């Protein structure tokens, strides 16, 4: 954790009361407390995370290693490491995940798709699969 990247990486925030429409690329942590309409893509490592907080709203597409949802989401979601859906979450769309955690009280409508564990020979497997899935729709 002493690398230059981890010291310089910051949390990006879409604050409550903020509306953002467009594509977001981040490398460490993205926290959404406001409203986002667009796509979110992580360019960071497997510790990168998107958090949609209670009261936060997201519509579009998310591709990141870790995704935590406590707000309202209408999206195609790909969590290449994990997806966690909290008790206040309302999620609709296609959810692709390696690991999934759902808290009691969460509402989910849509399709759940389990991804295969990547092998050493398939380092980019989850990302390639997600990209191909998006190209073929």
pLDDT at 117: 75
What are the tens digits of pLDDT across the range 48-66? 999 999 999 999 999 999 9
pLDDT at 9: 64
pLDDT at 7: 47
Domain ranges of the chain: 10-136
Q: Report the C-alpha gap between 23 and 99 in whole angstroms.
A: 25
Show the low-confidence residues of the chain (pLDDT under 50).
1-7, 123
Cα→Cα distances 14→24, 46, 127, Å: 11, 22, 25
């Amino acid at each position: 954790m002493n690398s230059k990247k981890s010291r310089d990486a910051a949390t990006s925030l879409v604050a409550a009361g903020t509306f953002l429409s467009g594509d977001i690329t981040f490398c460490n942590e993205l926290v959404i407390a406001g409203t986002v309409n667009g796509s979110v893509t992580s360019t960071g490592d497997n510790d990168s995370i998107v958090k949609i907080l209670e009261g936060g709203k997201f519509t579009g597409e998310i591709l990141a290693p870790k995704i935590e949802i406590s707000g309202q989401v209408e999206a195609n979601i790909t969590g290449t490491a994990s997806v966690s859906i909290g008790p206040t979450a309302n999620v609709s769309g296609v959810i692709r995940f390696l690991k999934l955690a759902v808290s009691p009280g969460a509402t989910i409508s849509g399709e759940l798709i389990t991804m295969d564990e990547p092998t050493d020979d398939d380092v980019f497997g989850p990302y390639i699969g997600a990209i191909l899935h998006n190209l073929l729709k």
